[in-house]
Amino acid sequence: MSRVPLDMLIPFLLSVVAFLLGLIETYLYYRFNEWYYRSGPAVIRESWQTRGSVEAVYRAVRAHLRADGMTGVERSAGFCLRQRWWVHNIWPRVWLGVDEAEEGAALQFEVRAFCSFTFGLIPVAILMAAAIRRLVLVKLTLPSLAAVLLFLLLYFTWLMRKNLAHIGRLRSIRRALAAEGLHVCDRCGYDLFAHAPGSRCPECGWSESNTIAEDSKPGLSS
């Protein structure tokens, strides 16, 4: 029985591990596992203050879990949300935590990426490179492999930006919480709780009139 060449075995094992990790992550993602939705580096992390009670905030969010093309479930310390599975996306996961604060319920808005899309690229690319070199179909060089990985990275970056724009800081949920004092800048996410409604954001200069104008454009109203 012939032995498997080492330059094929290692990439193959790495790819198997990446595939299994991807299956585990997909399970946690679709099961709305609270630990998973709250773990890992966040692409966006913002804190929003309200003057409503935790119970009032839970009721308002619960009624809008499926707004703006999102879906989600209620958990012990907040809500796990994601885009619908048929939306062209890279599965960003949203954690909306609800905590008691001195002035009312405070929200923690956090967005994290689906890691397997990124981490799985490396062993798969190595396996493909090893297989191509073994079959002598093409002469794969390090620059060409780097170019492929760079293209995929740029594509995932573009798609993540597109997904973040679609999520839009949970606009329908924020509007539902306006009665509880929630006031957040649409452009940069700055918490405007202590500012008068209609005032410009001190962080980026955006105003609610700009948001209203954008919403009034055909095809942009929610």
Residue 98's domain spans which residues?
6-182
pLDDT at 38: 96
pLDDT at 29 over 90: yes
Task: For residues 10 and 97, state if they share a domain.
Answer: yes
Task: For residues 43 and 153, state if they share a domain.
Answer: yes
Using one digit for the tens of pLDDT, what is the confidence trace for 104-145?
A: 999 999 999 888 766 556 656 666 666 655 544 445 556 666
Task: For residue 1, tell me if it sits in a domain.
Answer: no
Task: For residue 75, tell me if it sits in a domain.
Answer: yes
**Helix axis angle, 6-30 relative to 121-135, nearest 10°?**
150
Task: For residues 167 and 190, state if they share a domain.
Answer: no
Task: For residues 178 and 189, state if they share a domain.
Answer: no
Full 3-state SS string of the chain = CCCCCHHHHHHHHHHHHHHHHHHHHHHHHHCCCHHHHCCCCCCEEEEEECCCCHHHHHHHHHCCCCHHHEEEEEECCEEEEEECCCCCCCCCEEEEEEEECCCCEEEEEEEECCCHHHHCHHHHHHHHHHHHHHHCCCCCCHHHHHHHHHHHHHHHHHHHHHHHHHHCCCHHHHHHCHHHCCCECCCCCCECCCCCCCCCCCCCCCCHHHHHHHHHCCCCCC
Count up the domains in the chain and report the number. Answer: 2
Task: For residues 140 and 177, state if they share a domain.
Answer: yes
Mean pLDDT in residue range 153-181:
87
Task: For residues 167 and 192, state if they share a domain.
Answer: no
Provide the whole-model pTM.
0.78
Using one digit for the tens of pLDDT, what is the confidence trace for 177-215?
A: 999 999 999 888 899 998 887 788 988 888 765 554 444
Task: For residues 45 and 82, state if they share a domain.
Answer: yes
pLDDT band of residue 5 (cuts 50, 70, 90) is: low
pLDDT at 199: 81
pLDDT at 162: 85
Dihedral sign of CA atoms 212, 190, 174, 65 in order: positive
Task: For residue 99, tell me if it sits in a domain.
Answer: yes
Task: For residues 104 and 173, state if they share a domain.
Answer: yes
Beta bridge partners of 73: 80
pLDDT band of residue 27 (cuts 50, 70, 90) is: very high
Using one digit for the tens of pLDDT, what is the confidence trace for 30-88?
A: 999 999 999 999 999 999 999 999 999 999 999 999 988 899 999 989 999 998 877 77
pLDDT at 7: 55
Task: For residues 221 and 176, state if they share a domain.
Answer: no
Task: For residues 64 and 116, state if they share a domain.
Answer: yes
